[in-house]
Amino acid sequence: MQLSIVSALTVALGVASALPAEVEVRGTPSNAPVTFDHAPDQSKSFTCGGKTYTGHDIYVSAQRGVALQEISETRGKNQYPHSFDHNDSKGHQLNFPSYCPEDKDRMEFPLIKNGPYDGGKSNTKQGDERVVYFYEPGEVDNNGHAKATYCGIMTHVGAAQKGGFILC
């Protein structure tokens, strides 16, 4: 039996319409090293929001944020990483270091223990803490690794208003 082009197209469209309407296509972010200026010591611990994180937890979270930016992807309902280009957090002034500019390339990404965060499309369980870093896409070090600047960590815990942040 020979199908005409119109018949073949009709069959193909019928098969395509039977596929699930919402398929999340995700790239695989790189685990390549990232060079962070002003990064915390990976062997030390830091308290934020009543939780203790290692410098390695902080590095891994920021590394994943940069890797996702490099492939133009986000994770979770809130589409992380996303820009954190201001110092006002619901009426509370955040004082980031001067080397971390208020700029569209200053980003926030969820900070979790033994991460990194890799939430699905509807995932809202990213926790209360964020790592903040500055990354200008395409900037690399002498070894060809992405180069970024660590700005700090922040939490919703203890913020004056719901949804606000305080620096740790």
Residue 88's pLDDT is: 86
**Domain boundaries of the chain, sorted by first residue:** 5-167
Contact predicate 71/32, CB 8 Å: no
**Owner of token pair 């033994």:** 114
Residue 123's pLDDT is: 63
CATH class of 5-167: alpha beta
Residue 90's pLDDT is: 85
Q: Distance between CA atoms of 78 and 68, rounded to whole angstroms? A: 14
pLDDT along the chain (168 residues), means of 10: 44 41 63 94 96 97 96 92 91 91 94 86 77 94 96 94 92
